[in-house]
Amino acid sequence: MSDGGIIQEVPGLKATIGFIKSIKEAHFERKISTFMRTFHSHVLPEDVMVDFRIRFEDDKAYRNKVMDVITIYNDRFIEDKKCELFASLFLAHLNKKISWDDFRRLSSVLERIEYQSIFFLKEFSKPDQNGFRFSRNSIRNDNMPYLFSAGIIEQSRL
């Protein structure tokens, strides 16, 4: 029996699946809209934007690569704020502040890290009064399990 047959036989299953799909599609549309709104709210230098548009329109492999990455990551993010940060990473790549490989690595980190831990990392990276950026005492925090699971920091034997 095919899946279509099962859906027809179980009362309410077809409606439930349709409802779930509509929620998922609406959530994805909102995330893509957030990404695009953030992307377009920044002004790229004219030459950077022209170069990007030409390459995007003329190079099918490049266009597919960019669209795949933008679509897949935005789909994976739960928080809309991550879509904003992702757009900022893409803009940094277009402005040649980070390479494509760095953009992909940072996007992967963004995907795996708990959103609230991003702000902890920012604080964690500031030098303390002795000039040290990282110390054993500065990393004792509720965010640590998220950073370990995201692969951002390693646990060592102290």
Q: Residue 26 falls within a domain, yes or no? A: yes
End-to-end CA distance of the chain: 58
Same domain, 83 and 122: no
Same domain, 74 and 97: yes
Task: Quick: pLDDT tens for 44-90.
Answer: 899 999 999 999 999 999 999 999 999 999 999 999 999 999 999 99
Domain count, the chain: 2
Task: Quick: pLDDT tens for 10-52.
Answer: 777 777 788 888 888 898 999 999 999 999 999 889 999 999 9
Domain extent for 90:
11-112
Q: Residue 89 falls within a domain, yes or no? A: yes
- Residue 108 sits at φ, ψ, to 5 deg, of -65, -40
